[in-house]
Amino acid sequence: MPPDDKKAGPAFEPDAADKEPAWRLGLANVDVDLPSGSFRVRDHRLLVLRPEALVDLQKHLEDTIGLSSKGFLYLAGEKSARQGHDLFAPPATPAPAASDSFESLRNRIAAMSLLGWGRFSVFVEDAAAHRYLVNLENSPIAEAYGTSKKPVCHLIAGWIAGTAESALGENLLCEEIACGSQGKLRCEFRLRPTPYG
């Protein structure tokens, strides 16, 4: 957990008082069309599947192309967020102030809890250097993957980077520095400016 002097906080706390409003918010935006077999949230079609399906794909990539699989999964997550596949992205608006951008980032990342991606919290590590920390408790990827010596949430890392770019308006690299699959209490990600600018 970052030191107390860091700006911190999830967008909503997972207690009984706000569990019902959070689910109401989620369900108010759900449309299930049985004749067509589609499931939509805010007009985005979703596919509900077990995390093991993604992990099976990831492990197959690791077995066939090795370490390159990390890059493929990262880029897939990043591209998805950049192309507006983020369900909680606001409609296009004028560029917000920096503090509003950070709140937008916090809220959009934390809202993924409504879709089962775990419990996210975003912290400012160094505002002047554009460095942020993201904690993820109960990562479905880490849980489904099992034990690993290295972090495994590459798709999530890429998605965080893409979401940060659209929320903050800058290209940041996201590195998973600790993972639940390593026996850690949570997955931890560091967002920082890319070395190539």
pLDDT truncated to tens, each residue of the chain (197 aa)?
A: 444 444 444 444 444 445 555 555 556 778 888 999 998 877 778 888 899 999 999 999 999 999 899 999 999 999 988 876 556 555 444 445 555 788 888 888 888 887 889 999 999 999 889 999 999 999 999 999 999 999 999 999 999 999 999 888 889 999 999 999 999 999 999 999 987 65
pLDDT, residue 79, reads: 92
Q: At residue 65, what are phi and psi to the nearest 5 degrees?
A: -120, 0
pLDDT, residue 187, reads: 98
Angle at 164 between CA 159 and CA 165, to 5 degrees: 100
**Domain-by-domain residue ranges, the chain?**
16-48, 50-193
Homologous superfamily of 50-193 = Trafficking protein particle complex subunit 3 (3.30.1380.20)
pLDDT, residue 91, reads: 47
